[in-house]
Chains A and B, each alone.
Chain A
Amino acid sequence: MPGADKETDLTERIEAFLADLKRGGSGTGPLRGSGEMARETTYLLRRITAQARWSSAGDLMEIIRNEGRRMTAAQPSETTVGNMVRRVLKIIREEYARSRGSSEETEQQESLHKLLTAGELSEETFREHFVHLKANVIEAINELLTELDGTTDNIAMQALEHIHSNEVIMTVGRSRTVEAFLKDAARKRKFHVIVAECAPFCQGHEMATGLSKVGIETTVIADAAIFAVMSRVNKVIIGTQTVLANGGLRAVNGTHSVALAARHHSTPLIICAPMFKLSPQVFTTCSLSLNDVNSCFPVLKILSKVNVHCPVFDYVPPELITLFISNIGGNAPSYIYRLMSELYHPEDHKL
């Protein structure tokens, strides 16, 4: 029976993806950038849309929400997965609304006035059946995939507007987006990059070799030297793991100190972050859920009587950030909430 085959094939794929996610950070599993992770998630969601059994948009959303919950639970630190699930849910809502004929505009616009008058936000049940819904949703997901494919290029294209000749630029650790951004600028301009090595994993070394290969003048510094070097720096350009709802960052450990040093010297801090890193999460001080604490092996070999902690991420508050550069252009941190509301439906914030 082909249907059953499809079903088991699908569950197998989901399980494999979940297992990959769980082993994500260990180095034993396939280590991937968040861009790739976003794409993988979307592929999987497209497959679910195509192969799972559903008759109405409501069913489909329920299925995707369930799977999304499991995926985010498998690796809470990987927010991209949850973001992509929300994006797809939003797509389904839009396609459903379009099939029904109601304009998406009215659905989307949520002014304060409307919130006050409307009372019930959404009484929508998504139970109606449309023949073309599946095809439309898949089509829209494909569009999302093309958008994902182009993000890094879109960001890199804006490089010349921000990097000028003979500037000194500081970055921290390794970010694929920042690397592409700097490389793009290096085609036309000559500038100097200082890379903080970002111990204990020292991704900065990798970044530096990557940059020097295309002829950018690169210097690697220890994390402790960040403040001392900051006075010479014209701009700080860094990547991030997640952009939080308030415009803050969850970025690799050491970013906060870079941001504080930059603020002290009034150096602009520019974040290169594609849209899929925007997450409706907010920062809470008491929980470590934002902060993935890794195994401490790179820090120390096993010692008996020493407690070793090795947090992987820093929280950077939005006040320290000058500008976000995303694939759709530059934005101030205070505008992030707006982008967020365009990307995700408010009901999907909590999966």
Chain B
Amino acid sequence: MALRGDWVYENNGGTCVAIAGADYTVVAADTRLSAGYNICTRDFSKICTLCGLLPLADNCVLASSGFQGDMKALQNNLSARHHIYYIFVQIYQHQHNKKMSCRAMAQHLSNILYYKRFFPYYTFNILGGLDNEGKGCVYTYDAVGSYERVGYSCQGTGGTLIMPVLDNQLKSPSPLLLAARDAGTPLSESEAVDLVKDVFASATERDIYTGDKLETIIVNAAGIRQEFIDLRKD
């Protein structure tokens, strides 16, 4: 093991948001990478969809914020393991290529994070995609792997600024209530994308680590679509 100094972490800032709808999921993150008061780059993607040959599971997208080194390591780890799973299944099942479902990837990510419980990945992750029925699903994580399926989530330095707005617009009755009430975001895909843009514009105003560009990924039955929108660069 390489000799490590006492403290190896750094927060590179940034914010991610994800919203799940009836048949789509929107995952968005800003593209600013900071170190202290410096901006290292305005063009850094916090979202991971493709890993060379294979997409990260059928229709799954991972957005992380926190320490960039751990972010990249986690993304590589996840896509490598998915690669192995994918190839294993090809060899041993002689069937159609089976990519990990979103639910399986969510638990897999939780395990990967927990196996680093004593030397955590300093990343705050959101996994977005479509579940087996084609409905949008968003899984939100803490840094050591506790996870939960939710209708919307935000992580990162701007997270506490954005969450109350999302709660106000999107909060639905808790899934834990026994007299089950109808949950689910009634917003359409374009309304959700507009909400995400508005919410990032506001967070950019008040969080120094958020800004520059907004990368939005929309996952729906037709596939994965990417959009870039400019944010304030100051």
Partners in one complex: no
Q: A-contacting residues of B (Cβ < 8 Å)?
A: none
Q: B-contacting residues of A (Cβ < 8 Å)?
A: none
